[in-house]
């Protein structure tokens, strides 16, 4: 499966409330929030979820080699990162994945950034967490399919920009996933647009 990228044009997930609150700095047992404030925040989260329109892409590729300082994919693409190589140790392949929250929520954030920043920061947190949750969704989806051929995914995933896996690697991932097909573009500085767009790599393990 997934010889080319597989696109998901409408990933339906609920806003992960716990993660959204945590991202906004909520600490259970410490942060004090009265019912009216919580209601107002939850309503904004609901509104934000209505503006988020998640699309994603996934591609399973074989691994040619896993070295000490990086990995080489079946098409000779090299991803130079010691940390990534450690995560992919024992993997026979990789899952490349990308997801975006879409442009509508970004427009909403921009339009209320000056007049209603409180709403903007909540929208921003919802979009971030839903995009991240979309990667988990893609991993669940692909993982379930891999199980039928006695394979599974590593529990962790790794994104360009973390540790020694430099952000420039996003070029290769962007190209291999054809992220332009789901409306994502990339700037020369490797920033994905819409802003709430992410990519990641996970390992494919063979069951024995």
Nearer to other proteins (CB atom), residue 88 or residue 109: 109
* Closest distance of CB 26 from other proteins, Å: 5
Q: Is 50 in the site for other proteins (CB under 8 A)?
A: yes
Choices 80-88, 95-103, 173-181, 183-191; region in contact with other proteins by CB under 8 A: 183-191
Residue 63 makes contact with other proteins by CB under 8 A? no
What SS3 state is found at 55?
strand
168 is an interface residue for other proteins by CB under 8 A? yes
Query: What are the C-alpha distances in Å from 198 to residues 56, 135, 160?
Result: 9, 8, 9
Binders of other proteins: how many residues, by CB under 8 A?
Answer: 68
End-to-end CA distance of the chain: 20
Contact 44, 119 (CB under 8 A): yes
Among the residue ranges 63-71, 79-87, 94-102, 166-174, the one whose residues contact other proteins (CB under 8 A) = 166-174
Asked whether position 107 contacts other proteins by CB under 8 A, the answer is no
Most distant pair of Cα atoms in the chain: their distance: 58
Main-chain phi, psi angles of 135, to 5 degrees? -65, -40
**Closest CB 33 distance from other proteins, rounded Å:** 8
**Nearest distance in Å: CB 2, other proteins:** 8
Q: Residue from 65, 69, 83, 116 that binds other proteins (CB under 8 A)?
A: 116
Element (H, E) at 95: strand 93-100
What's the sign of the alpha-carbon dihedral 14, 196, 183, 81? negative
Token reading at 26: 């909520």
Question: Do the Cβ atoms of 134 and 98 come closer than 8 Å?
Answer: no
Question: Which CB atom, from 9 or from 64, has the smaller least distance to other proteins?
Answer: 9
Q: Which of 44, 76, 46, 47 is nearest to 61 (CA)?
A: 76
Instruction: Among 75, 86, 90, 185, indicate the residue that binds other proteins (CB under 8 A).
Output: 90
- By CB under 8 A, tell whether 158 contacts other proteins: no
- CB distance 98 to 198 below 8 Å: yes
List residues binding other proteins (CB under 8 A): 1-3, 6, 8-10, 12-14, 21, 24-27, 30-37, 39, 41, 50, 60, 62, 90, 92-93, 109, 113-114, 116-118, 120-122, 124-125, 137, 140-141, 144-145, 147-152, 161, 166-168, 187-191, 193, 195, 205-208
């Amino acid at each position: 499966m997934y010889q080319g990228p597989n696109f998901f044009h409408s990933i339906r997930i609920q806003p992960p409330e716990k993660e959204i609150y945590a991202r906004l700095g909520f600490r259970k047992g410490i942060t004090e929030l009265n019912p009216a404030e919580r209601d107002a925040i939850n309503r904004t989260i609901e509104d934000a979820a209505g503006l988020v329109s998640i699309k994603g892409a996934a591609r399973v590729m074989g691994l040619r080699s896993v070295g000490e300082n990086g990995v080489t994919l079946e098409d000779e693409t090299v991803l130079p990162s010691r940390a990534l190589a450690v995560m992919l140790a024992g993997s026979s392949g990789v899952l490349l994945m990308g997801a975006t929250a879409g442009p509508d929520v970004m427009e909403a954030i921009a339009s209320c950034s000056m007049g209603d920043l409180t709403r903007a920061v909540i929208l921003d947190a919802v979009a971030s967490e839903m995009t991240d949750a979309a990667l988990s969704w893609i991993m669940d989806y692909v993982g379930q399919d891999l199980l039928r051929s006695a394979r599974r995914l590593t529990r962790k995933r790794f994104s360009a920009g973390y540790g020694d896996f430099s952000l420039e690697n996003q070029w290769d991932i962007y190209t291999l996933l054809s992220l332009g097909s789901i409306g994502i573009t990339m700037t020369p500085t490797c920033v994905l647009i819409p802003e709430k767009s992410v990519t990641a790599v996970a390992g494919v393990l063979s069951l024995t």
